[in-house]
Amino acid sequence: MSLAFALSLGLITVLAFMGLPMGASMITGSILYLLMRGQDMGIAAEQLLNGMYTNYIMLAVPLFILAAEIMNSGSLSERLLNWCNAVVGRFRGGLAQVNILQSIVFAGMSGSAIADAAGSGKMMQYMMTKDGKYTPSYAAALTAATAVIGPIIPPSIPMVLYALVADTSIGYLFLGGVVPGLLMAGLMMLQVAITARIRNFPVEQPVPLRQLPRMTWQALPVLLMPAVLMFGIYGGVTTPTEAAAVAAFYALIVSVFIYRAVKLPDLYSSVLTSAKTTASIGMLIAGALVFNYVVTIENIPRTISATLLAWDLDPTMFLIAVNILLLLLGCVLEGTTILLVIVPVLIPTAQALGIDMVHFGVVVVVNIMLGLITPPYGLLLFIMTRIANTSMRALVADVGPFLVGLIIALLVFTFVPDTVLWLPKLFGYVSPSITP
């Protein structure tokens, strides 16, 4: 490691701790490195522009964000919750099960854990804590844990970013996340069922079964959205990026013309919020692109790859090390930073060990999502403490059992690659690598 790189890394760390956005910190540190190495400053702009404006898949990010915002501003989330309540609300701890089920369905529309928690999560918090049915901390913990499923079941914004850095098929990545996402949801449902018996959670007034067809019909446009996306991508009708545009357009049509729940001010607010979120993510991506150029000049990926290969790690031991590393980093770093800066360094070693890039991508994304509910830097924890008006200590105590269950699920599809690759292979995926 050269002195220039060490000072660059130090400057990025200092600026980030001082509160400067991570993207701006990485750009500043990278410029310092270029100055010290006597290179042209235009290289930074060149790397930024080449990465941001020549990559077609980047367009999927703002479009999926816009789709989620439009759905949150309309009555789509409310209709979805009513349908979920009719299906599973009749069981003990039914509202908790509703929370998990709505996250599964909402995951097929937003691709964002934050959108899930900030959107339908607010309504679930109110429904679960009304009349003291559940403690605020338990309701908030469950909402945070279920929101993690959002970017695992397609569509997924983190998987789009992984595809950017790993040059992997987005379509097969999306398919690879289906079974792991459902496995995670199933384990949480089992946990809730057991806890409901132990803590004697309330049983909701059951919705008569004769009303279920009517409620299904009312929620049908919402429920069809994941099917529309999947048909578009895997039916060969659209690319994943075009499917993101279809998702935003579909959400607009359903909210404005079918449900008539979104007015012009609501639409303006959704577009504005989406633009702000996209700008924030875009700045982070821009900084990562420039800094990754610096990392490449320093030959750090090759050096780390050679070091790890010299340790004679087999694929299984490497995946264990990656899981531990990413879970620890998730406690202190923002997920997108890990995905854009740390993961590219690990990819050459994974490829050299013959690990399938779709399998590796799903493992990476799940690790990064778990970082959203691990203290001290768990973004979903911060969001839910504000929504639920509860203490961080109480929230962390209640989210702990769910985190353990999700880690168990992570270990299952880390060591059983077919849980990830089974569905992609059904759609014609041929793994170029030999997974452990």
pLDDT digits (tens, 9 = 90+) for 391-424: 878 888 888 899 999 999 999 999 999 999 999 9
Cα separation, 181 vs 179, in Å, equals 5
Q: How far is CA 19 from CA 24, 120, 334, in A?
A: 10, 30, 13
35 occurs within a structural domain: no
pLDDT at 49: 59
Cβ(372)–Cβ(148) below 8 Å: yes
DSSP one-letter string for 322-373:
HHHHHHHHHTTS-HHHIIIIIHHHHHHHHHHTT--HHHHHHHHHHHHHHGGG
* Locus of tokens 């890990």: 338
In a domain, 164, yes or no: yes
Higher pLDDT, residue 19 or 139: 139
Q: Provide the token pair at 310.
A: 């010299």
Asked if residue 32 is part of any domain, the answer here is: no
Instruction: Say how far apart CA 89 and CA 296 lie, in whole Å.
Output: 53
Task: Decide if 22 is inside a domain.
Answer: no
Mean pLDDT of 109-120: 64
Average of per-residue pLDDT across 278-300: 73
6 domain residue, yes or no? no
* Residue 431 in domain: no
Domain count, the chain: 1
> What pLDDT, on a 0 to 100 scale, did the predictor assign at position 410?
93
Q: Is the residue at 434 inside a domain?
A: no
Q: Any idea which residue has 């778990």 for tokens? A: 370
Domain range for residue 272?
Answer: 40-426
Lowest mean pLDDT of 6-10, 302-306, 336-340, 387-391, name the range. Answer: 302-306
Work out the number of other CB atoms within 10 angstroms of the CB of residue 87: 16
Q: Tell me the pTM.
A: 0.77
For residue 357, the model assigns a pLDDT of 92
26 within some domain: no
For 203, the 3-state DSSP assignment is strand
d(CA 110, CA 69) in angstroms, rounded, equals 8
Q: Mean pLDDT across the stretch 16-34?
A: 79
CA gap 65, 92 in Å, rounded: 34
Q: What is the DSSP letter of 254?
A: I
Indicate the burial class of 236 (C-beta count within 10 angstroms; 0-12, 13-18, 19 or more): exposed
Q: Give tens-digit pLDDT for 88-97.
A: 767 777 778 8
